[in-house]
Every structure is written in C-alpha cells, then in structure tokens.
C-alpha cells in the first residue's frame, strides 16, 4: 500500500534538499505519493502567503509532513513558521537522534544520544511585552500536561529501545518554579520506570560535560529552548548539522525535518549535505511502517560514508550534493 504524504519545499537549501531526497526515495522504490508545496519566505514574496491554504489542507488530510527548512527573519517580521506548525498541530515531541558514524572523523567516538525536546511551550510561545521603552518581558510557559507527556515519551522510548538512562536537563536552581516543576514531574515519572536510570543535570554543566565526555549521556529530555541549543551542540560532536535528523510527533500529526536551518550561505551552490534531511525521511518511513525501505537507504548512506569518496564539503570531502546523491543511488 502506498502512503500519501505532504512535502514542503522551504527556503535556502530547502528546495535542493527536497529534489535530491525525493530522487533517492524514488530510487529506493519507497511506496509514497507526494503532495508538494512551496512554502516560506520565497513563497510569501511570490504569492503573498507563507504557507498556502492548500498546503495546510494537504497536511490536514495526509497527517504526515516532510518539511525542508524555512528562513525566519531575525529580530523582526513574521513568527517562525516552524514554531507555528509545531504549535498549531500540537507536534509536542521533537525527537533528535545524534549518533556517531565511524566514517566521519571527529574528536568524539560512539556518541549515541537521543534528545527529547518539548516543542509547544517554554519561551517559544513568543509572548513578549514592551513594559517601557527600555524594558521587555518574555514569558516562559510551562504546564504540567505538556511536561508530563514529553517526559513520559522519553521514558517510553528508552524502554522500547533498550536504552539505560534518561537525563532531565534544566535550570531549576534559578527558575525554581517553572524548571522546578519540570524537574519534580520528571522525578515522579522516573519512579514508574525502575529499570531505567533517571538523573538530572543543570543546562550549563551539561554543555561542559557534553564536550568533555558525551558518552555519559543516553536519552535526554528538556524544555524547548534548551533542546534547541543542545541539539546544535550535539550535532557538532558527530560532524555537524548535516547529520542530524528529527521527528516532530503529536497525537494526530507527524512532521519530519532536519535539525539544521535553510543555510542561506550555501544555498544554490551544490554544497548542502542532504543526509540529515534524508535520515528525517527514513524516520518518516519507519513511522509509516516502511522499515525495510528505510533500512536499505540507511545502509546505502553508511556505505557511501564509509567509502569516503563522495563526501560533501562539511564532511571534508569535495563532492557536490548531486554527486553524493548519485553515489547513494548507485548503492541502492
């Protein structure tokens, strides 16, 4: 049976990633039918809508979205479409696996961390208030319901996937009420999973520990902003943003995207590494039960990385995006 999915072609390197990854999915004979839409800043300039109504309608029908990165203006302009989509469709669990690949040389070996980032609240609700010309308040929202479900998902994931430890990352020493509540909910839920070690660390210490000894971490669960920052930090441990995929899962909808952004500095230059976006597509295939197809694609990528002849520039190679994609297709 083939699955209908929605695809958003975003900004910067987004369109080239979509074109190349769909080529690989086709070569792998993935049982998918696509409804493809241009979205984002460029679409807004062309047609006056960041996300056209038909694109929303398609996602509401298919309930599965493969989304390439979208540019968000800094310090002004529209609210992040990524944050909006996550809120609008209650895609509360942002799951980001960060795993070393033996073929990619970095100072760290065998990193294998899965980040669970709460995706719908915290500071990302975007509630800011100008109290007077020189003072702005930004409100951080933390609820028991949203905290419970992301923490429980992290433990359930650990249980299903044979992971040993879940670490709660927080700043409860300073934010005694908001992060304090998140931490106390974590401690309550941890008791329901005696077979899994539950511990916690303050976010600043975590950053130092991650670059000194990342192997001590297994599954990590945290609020929105901490998850955003630590995801990029962790991606640096394994060779960069070109290698970290993600899923955004809610009770009704699911969205799959790379952790990285639209990389305007390399857009259109054939330098983008499509692996993070391709692995996001693999996470989508696994979500849809197409594990065999995902497995074949993952194997082909591993072989190309191990061979080392067609690596993109971020992995210290000289291949263009297309040369790398052709090498993956040849392996398939």
Residues at the site binding ligand NAI, with contacts judged by CB under 6 A: 69-72, 82, 241-242, 257, 260-266, 272-273, 276, 314
CA 307 to CA 171: how far, in whole Å?
Answer: 43
Closer residue to ligand NAI (CB): 185 or 259: 259
**CB contact at 8 A, 5 and 35:** yes
Question: In whole angstroms, how close is the CB of 319 to ligand NAI at the nearest point?
Answer: 12
Closer residue to ligand NAI (CB): 93 or 266: 266
Parallel, antiparallel or unpaired: strands 254-258 and 64-67 = parallel
Give the CA count within 13 Å in the CB-facing half-sphere of 261: 15
Question: In whole angstroms, how close is the CB of 91 to ligand NAI at the nearest point?
Answer: 12
Closer residue to ligand NAI (CB): 221 or 243: 243
Closer residue to ligand NAI (CB): 148 or 323: 323
Closer residue to ligand NAI (CB): 33 or 265: 265
Question: In whole angstroms, how close is the CB of 312 to ligand NAI at the nearest point?
Answer: 6
Helices H, strands E: what count in the chain? 11, 12
From its phi and psi, is residue 240 left (phi > 0), alpha (psi between -120 and 50) or beta?
A: left
Question: In whole angstroms, how close is the CB of 210 to ligand NAI at the nearest point?
Answer: 18
Closer residue to ligand NAI (CB): 186 or 279: 279
9-28 exposure pattern, b = at least 16 Cβ within 10 A, e = fewer: bbbbbbbbbbbbbbbbbebb
Residue nearest to ligand NAI (CB): 261
- Tokens representing residue 146 in the block: 């949203």
Return the closest-CA partner of residue 325 out of 296, 304, 294.
304
Question: In whole angstroms, how close is the CB of 193 to ligand NAI at the nearest point?
Answer: 31
Task: Write the DSSP symbol of residue 131.
Answer: E
Q: What is the DSSP string of 270-293?
A: T----HHHHHHHHHHHHHTT-HHH
Closer residue to ligand NAI (CB): 247 or 273: 273
Question: In whole angstroms, how close is the CB of 12 to ligand NAI at the nearest point?
Answer: 6
Question: In whole angstroms, how close is the CB of 286 to ligand NAI at the nearest point?
Answer: 20
CA 87 to CA 74: how far, in whole Å?
Answer: 20
Residues in the chain: 332
């Amino acid at each position: 049976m083939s699955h209908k999915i929605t695809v958003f072609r975003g900004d910067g390197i987004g369109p080239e990633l979509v074109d190349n990854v769909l080529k690989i999915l086709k070569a792998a004979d993935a049982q998918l039918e696509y409804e493809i839409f241009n979205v984002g800043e460029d679409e807004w300039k062309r047609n006056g809508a960041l996300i056209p109504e038909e694109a929303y309608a398609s996602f509401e029908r298919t309930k599965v979205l493969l989304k390439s990165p979208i540019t968000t203006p800094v310090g002004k302009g529209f609210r992040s479409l990524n944050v909006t989509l996550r809120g609008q469709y209650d895609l509360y669990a942002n799951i980001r696996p960060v795993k070393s690949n033996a073929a990619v040389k970095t100072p760290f070996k065998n990193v294998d961390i899965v980040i669970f980032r709460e995706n719908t609240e915290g500071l990302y609700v975007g509630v800011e208030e100008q109290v007077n010309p020189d003072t702005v308040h930004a409100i951080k929202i933390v609820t028991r319901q949203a905290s419970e479900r992301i923490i429980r998902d992290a433990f359930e994931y650990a249980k299903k996937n044979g992971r040993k430890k879940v670490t709660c990352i927080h700043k409860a020493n300073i934010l005694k009420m908001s992060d304090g509540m998140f931490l106390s909910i974590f401690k309550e839920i941890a008791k329901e999973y005696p077979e899994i070690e539950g511990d916690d660390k303050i976010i600043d210490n975590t950053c130092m520990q991650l670059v000194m000894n990342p192997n001590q971490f297994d599954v990590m669960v945290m609020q929105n902003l901490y998850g955003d920052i630590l995801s990029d930090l962790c991606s640096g441990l394994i060779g960069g943003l070109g290698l970290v995929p993600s899923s955004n899962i809610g009770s009704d909808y699911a969205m799959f995207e790379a952790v990285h952004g639209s990389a305007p500095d390399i857009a259109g230059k054939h330098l983008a590494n499509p692996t993070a976006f391709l692995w996001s597509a693999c996470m989508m295939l696994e979500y849809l039960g197409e594990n065999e197809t995902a497995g074949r694609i993952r194997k082909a990528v591993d072989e190309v990385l191990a061979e080392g002849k067609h690596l993109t520039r971020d992995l210290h190679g000289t291949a263009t995006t297309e040369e790398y994609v052709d090498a993956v297709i040849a392996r398939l």
